[in-house]
Amino acid sequence: MRLRSKLTAIAAALLVAGSASATDSDPNNPSCPASPNWSTNRTMQLTPLERNGQTVLLAEGVIDSDLPGRLQRTLDGNADITEIWLRSPGGDALAGNDAGMLLRTQFPGIVTRIPAGWACFSACNFMFMGGQLRIIEPGAHFIVHMFTHTGDRTAIRQGLEGGGDDAVELIGEIEQSSAQLATEDNDFLIRMGVSRRLLREVMYATSAVGEGETRRCLTRQEAYDYNVANVE
């Protein structure tokens, strides 16, 4: 998971909300809004609160390495939490994976939800998929990385906004590790009950994106077809 961890940490640091409305389309990633509502918290904040007679946990901000431990302590200390509502630009991929595994193995009854208008990107995807029951509301955004550009040095350099030596190092790691990354993603999806076609047809599919695209927002139909969302 080291490769995706480095990728998503850099992506979270670089993706800053602009002045455009969240409803405007991103010209570089036309399936997604220009300014996704994925929270500006530098570390994910976990906030239990009452909504419609039940206790939900708001999980908002960048996924950091300490998240799985904080998540477990929060859920252990609030046994009445029934849902986790996610809003995140991603972050530490290993922590996102661990958080997803934690939910599936120790708290399988908890629902994960992306509320309308909120966005869940990159490492957040894997935390979300840890829910046995998963809801993506109309108007919510499940945004995946497009790993088809891992071998494109120009696209990576532009994405890192001239990251210098760090970009060169990252390019080398990406080119050497893409097969391993695909295997890890494949194994995780199998364990979460999500269709592996998500990798083949979207995340790693050249035909799924246009020139220069780095992100893809699933349509509601795709979310159900791939079993990313499994509750209406």
The domain spanning residue 88 has which CATH number? 3.90.226.10
* pLDDT confidence band for 204 (50 / 70 / 90): confident
State if pTM tops 0.85.
Answer: no
Matching residue, tokens 């060169």: 168
74 inside domain:
yes
pLDDT tens-place string over residues 70-104 = 999 999 999 999 999 999 999 998 899 999 999 99
230 inside domain:
no
231 inside domain:
no
Residue-range definition of the domain harbouring residue 145: 2-225
pLDDT tens-place string over residues 25-64 = 999 999 999 999 999 999 999 999 999 899 999 999 999 9
Do residues 139 and 116 make contact, with C-beta atoms less than 8 angstroms apart? yes
232 inside domain:
no
210 inside domain:
yes
Q: Which amino acid is at 165?
A: D
More confident residue, 143 or 2: 143
206 inside domain:
yes
Burial class (CB in 10 A: 0-12, 13-18, 19+), 226: buried
User: How many domains, in total, are found in the chain?
Assistant: 1
